[in-house]
Structure 1
Amino acid sequence: MPTRSWMWVGWPSFLMAGVLEMLVFAVVDPSELHWQGGALDWSRPAVYTLAFFVFWAVIALSSALSVWLAQDLRRRSAD
């Protein structure tokens, strides 16, 4: 993908990851999280950081797929 396409993917996905994190952690308390039956023994900032990067990666992957499909459609219609 060209550099411009990466900017189209990276910036909106960064913003939406921030919004999603605010929404999720307005409802979920990181100290009450459990993993495989046991309490998750991480600090709050560690949970917030990991969640943000996971949200960002998933949203960026979705956006990148959309950009890739749109470019593929443009190439097909140009032929």
Structure 2
Amino acid sequence: MKYRLLIWILWPSFLISGIAEGLLFTVFHPQDLLFFGYHSQISDEGIYTIGFFVIWIFCATSSALTAYILPGIQSTSSKEVDSELI
């Protein structure tokens, strides 16, 4: 896997997950959340961390799917498809 593609997937998803976590925990306090009907015994910082990584995984999956469905760019000089992106 090319490092450039990995950065294109992970960096925007990192930024958006930081914003999404800020918005989520501005509305909901971690101690107000119920997990399978029970209050969590995890500290607030632990819930913030888990929430960030869960949101980051969803955002990275979305970015990866976008990169996967991008069409190749055809070169004007030949009929070959430039798959440099993927």
Per the shorter chain, which TM-score range?
A: 0.7 to 0.9
Higher relative contact order (CA 8 A, sep 6+): 1
Counterpart selection for 1:78 from 59, 78, 81: 81
Residue deviations 1:46-72 (CA, integer Å, cap 9, x gap) = 0000000001111001101101111xx
Gaps of 5+ in 2: 75-79
Gaps of 5+ in 1: none
Q: Does 1:43 align with 2:43?
A: yes
Task: For 1:37 and 1:52, locate their aligned partners in 2 and report how far apart those are by CA, in whole Å.
Answer: 21
How many equivalent pairs are there? 77
Considering fraction of residues, name the structure with more strand.
2
Percent identity for Structure 1 against Structure 2: 38
Give the deviation of 1:75 after TM superposition: 6.4
Larger radius of gyration: 2
Considering fraction of residues, name the structure with more helix.
1
> 1:29 corresponds to which letter in structure 2?
H
TM-score, normalising length from structure 2?
A: 0.80
Comparing 32-41 with 46-55, which one deviates more in the overlay? 32-41
Residue 72 of structure 2 aligns to a residue whose secondary structure is helix
Aligned pairs for 1:1-79 within 5 A: 1-70=1-70, 73-74=71-72, 78=81
